Every structure is written in C-alpha cells, then in structure tokens.
Structure 1
C-alpha cells in the first residue's frame, strides 16, 4: 500500500506468477504496454509482478480506473482469471481529477474506500446542510471513473472529529459491513484530549445513552434506559490541566465518547456542548486514530493507523 504521512497497514505479498514476456513498451515509456500471458494466473498478482516499482494500491488503481484490458476488453476485477495465450494491455491515460478538500484516500478497491477526514468536514449532509461533505466529494470522485458508481455510508465521524473512516462502493457491501460490524471490525480506537488530569490511568465507562428533544445525548445509569454504551480509556500523557487518552469503543453510539468523557468529569477539549470550559486547540480534541477490520468480500485483514495530531501534544510540552 502506498505510504503517506498517515501510517498504513502492512500487507502480505501476493503469490507471484511465472514471468511473462513483455511485448511492447517499458516502465516509464509513453503509450500502452502489452504483456503475453504464459501461465494461468489472477489479474492483480499478474500486474503486481510486472509493476514491482509501484505500490499495491497504485496497481489496484489501474483496474479501478479501467486502464487494463484483456484481449481488448476492459477488466477491473482483481481476481479475473488469465489463461495462457491472452494479452493484457495497460493504458497510461490518467483520469482527470479534482482535488479532494479536507480528506485523503488511504485505500480503495472495487468494494470500499478508506479515508482520513480532517476536522471541520461533514461526513454526510443533514437535511439542513448543503455544504461540501466527504460523501459528496467521494461520489464525484468515483463517478469520474464510472458515471453509474455510487458511494454508501457505513459509519460516521462527527464534523469536528478527524481520523479514519470508510465508505462502501455498493449497497451489498454496505449491508455486509453494517450487519456484521462488531465481528468485522477488530480494532477501533481514538485519541481524546480532555480537560483535567484523570485520577485513574485506565478505566471502563458504562451507561445508557438517550437523546433529548434538543438532539443532545445524555447518560443514564439506569439499566436499559436508552442505548447501552461501553467505553474503555487509557491515559497516554497527563499534565495538571489536561490528559491525552487512548479510547476504545465496545459499542458505537452517537456522541458516545463525548458523553462518556463528560460523565467522568473530563470533557473533550473544545466540546462546549458536553461540558468543556475552554478550547486550546481551536477544534474538538477527538481523533479516530485506528480502524482495523476484515475485508467484507476478500476476508483480508486491513489496519489503518494515523498519527496523533501534533496540536494534541501541545499541553504536555508547555505544562508541567
């Protein structure tokens, strides 16, 4: 997978097919390149061997952008079976793109897209919002490759929360992810900059979350009085005024971390809605750092880990 400023998962090398004779063109040359198939193989591993200088994701993008043809017919399936005597042609025409605003793509294939979303960008518009969103930008992005393509929401991050999130590229994959979310997602953790020094270095928060008429979530300690929510936290750094926590979710409720931090008396920095008294960041102090899951179609284990935003560390450099 292509490396960027965000950490990305390590991937096992695909089984390599036997060498095939390259007929025209060369890496770095202009024009299409054609390759004879000598032995039976799947298309993606075949291409990975021929383009060893490219990342796995870059090779996948050739298929996604419909730049690969087998015997003159465009093919985008990773596991397309190749037979001896066929010819694979790779075009070098680049798809015109428009810069993505407030997000970057960490991974994409024919089934899903994983992104890093900046704080301040809506995941998807509400009935009252007509602004730029991650959903709208990704919809435009995939439709430049295929006008019939669509994007489907799997989960959301609050507008002011940054970090890793994913979208499905078909309704079938969306349903697979949402129906088996607890089994498919193997790790989902955040970092939260909260007000005050936490008394315990780690803890478990449990309550039942309800929503008021003003759309504010709040916690109830009465069993079954709302949606059951469990959050775990561990202190990474602490000062007299702030704590940096690693937060993992056992359940995924609306505003769960924000409500639970308020519940233990340490609201997330900048979260005036849930009890914060100041904002040294100029944004919400919540970042979705890790998302690991089993691919709903291939079964491949994927893990995406991003860096802790540098401003989150500022209180610990300046405060004893």
Structure 2
C-alpha cells in the first residue's frame, strides 16, 4: 500500500473528471473506491473536498491517499464474449476520434454501489489502458439514445468542452402527458440537487438565483404530434446540461414524460402503455473545424416504437418544420 501522494494535473488532463483521472493514473482502482475516498474527504484537490464528477484543471494538486496494491483488490473479471458482443452491437458510428452508441434504456453509464453492469465497463471491449475509450458525457440510466465516447485524450478534451458549451446540438424525443401550450416555447429557471429529509441525492428541485447549489437551466421544446390531447410527441433541445433537466422541466410545465415516476404531474397516464421512461436522445450534432457538423442519430427503443404505433404518433408530423423552430 502506497503512502500519501500529491500529484499535479498535467495539460493533457485538462477538464478530465476526477474519477477518470484516477482511472488513468491508477487503472486498478475501481470507481466505487474513488467515490468512497472522495466522500470521506481523503481525496482532495488543492486542499478542498471534491466529488468524483468534478473536473480538473492543469496545475491543480490532487491529494491521493494510500491506495491498495493491485494484488490486494479483487481482480475485475474480463468481459465475457457475450458482453463484448453486446457492447459492439450498440455501436452506431465510429471514426478515428469517437465511438457512438445507441444506449438502451436501463443500462447505467457508470458503475456505483451495487451496479456492476454498465457502459463504462463495456468499454473494455474496445481497448485497455491508453487505448481504452473515455466517457465525455452521460445519459440517465433509463434514458436511451446517442452517447459518444472519445478514443483519445485530445478528443476527450475537445468533446468535454463542447458538451459544457452550447455549440453542440442535442435533440431528444419524448412522449409527454397532455399537450404543452404553447406548442413551441422554452422552459427556464434555476434548479439544484435535493438534500436532507426525504432528499434523494439524484432528485432535482426548484431553486432561486443566488441560492447555494443553484444552476440555471434552459430547454427549448416543440410539439411534433399529439394523440387526442392525452399525450404528445415533443422534441426537446437542452441548451444547458443539468442533471435530469428535461424531466424536471417537463414536469414543471405540467406535462411529465411518460414513465417518469420521479418527476410527476397531475395528468393521468393512459392505460395500456409501457411504464418505461419515454425519453430518447435522438440526435447529436457535433461541430468539426473546417467540416460540416457530424450528425449522429439513434433509432427508438422498442417500448417507444410500440407507444408511437399504439397512439398513431408520427405520420402527420412535419419533422423538418418542427426541428426548424428549435434553431
């Protein structure tokens, strides 16, 4: 077991998440242990407490507590052929910089307490060590659709900055309860993570400007089609990337996303429809220097296809016109 180390973040590690930094520097240390050490304050950055998802900047000093030797940890089992084949089956686009997946609903992006089957683990199918792809953004466990990973550190840095800004366009498809009015608009305000009492660490609640932990969020939306005022097909364009942003905003507007048991509204769910979350990251438009943007689209999951078919959503919609009003 090594002693305490104070390591300096390099230029190549700019904007990398703390947990990913550990993965690079200490590949044998599992995510769960990093999260535990950060929670206990044993991992610090420039003397301050941090979370696994916090991003690092060049020149910062990371306090690394004594870590177990590789032989002291349970060896992470290698991927089975079935898992590797499953990972490859999710690929919808690949080039020298990125791999894009159509993430199915129910598959977590990262591991955690009692979570051992997740997309990050499946990345072992594409390489180990420095060859291993790097996560640059997340989708909720129950949200499906386009998720990209970077093949190189340079690509990871560029994509991370794009996801933090507004140059990268994300378009989601959702089936919502009722029909938003007006049919085209935006939802904005401040939100923060709940804490204390009945607080769920992954529950977002409304907040006031200036309140500790408050983050501004903006979502543009447009109704593409509806089924007798009971439900609607809504295109969503998040201009910011807050936790659960789209789910929070649609519930706040009084039109929760079908299947969302956490952020609810007063409109009842029609009988006979799947209770899975109907939120899908349909399209990602990635700007490229000197080239046209790279457009990646992901097909709908089975439960959303069934709902579209059952309600007759889609045939009447002029999708190009709906997308145009989101620009």
1:228 corresponds to which residue?
A: 216
2:243 corresponds to which residue?
A: 254
2:118 corresponds to which residue?
A: 133
**Unaligned segments of structure 2, at least 5 residues:** 1-80, 314-327
Aligned-partner Cα distance in 2 for 1:223–1:101: 42
**Unaligned segments of structure 1, at least 5 residues:** 1-95
Q: Aligned runs of 1:71-110 on 2, under 5 Å?
A: 98-100=84-86, 104-110=90-96
Aligned-partner Cα distance in 1 for 2:308–2:186: 24
1:142 corresponds to which residue?
A: 126
Query: Are the equivalent residues in 2 in contact too, given 1:177–1:184 (CA < 8 A)?
Result: no
Higher helix share: 2
Aligned-partner Cα distance in 2 for 1:252–1:289: 16
Q: Aligned runs of 1:15-94 on 2, under 5 Å?
A: none
Q: Could you say which structure has the larger radius of gyration? A: 1
Measured on the aligned residues, the alpha-carbon RMSD in Å equals: 2.6
Query: Are the equivalent residues in 1 in contact too, given 2:145–2:299 (CA < 8 A)?
Result: no
Q: Which moved more, 1:267-276 or 1:255-264?
A: 267-276
Q: Deviation digits for residues 103-161 of structure 1, max 9, x if unmatched?
A: 611222332211111111111112x13332112112x2212xx6652221111011111
Q: Aligned runs of 1:1-320 on 2, under 5 Å?
A: 98-100=84-86, 104-126=90-112, 128-138=113-123, 140-143=124-127, 148-181=130-163, 185-213=167-195, 214-215=200-201, 216-220=203-207, 222-225=208-211, 226-239=214-227, 240-275=229-264, 278=269, 280-295=273-288, 301-308=293-300, 309-314=304-309, 316-317=311-312
TM-score scaled by structure 2?
Answer: 0.60
| Structure 1 residue 299 displacement after superposition | 5.5
Q: 1:270 is paired with a residue of what secondary structure?
A: coil
Query: In the comparison of the two structures, how many residue pairs are matched?
Result: 217
Q: For the structure 1 residues 109 and 130, does the alpha-carbon distance in structure 2 shift closer, same or farther, using more than 3 Å as the test? A: same
Q: 1:259 is paired with a residue of what secondary structure?
A: helix
Q: 2:221 is paired with a residue of what secondary structure?
A: strand
Q: 1:273 is paired with a residue of what secondary structure?
A: coil
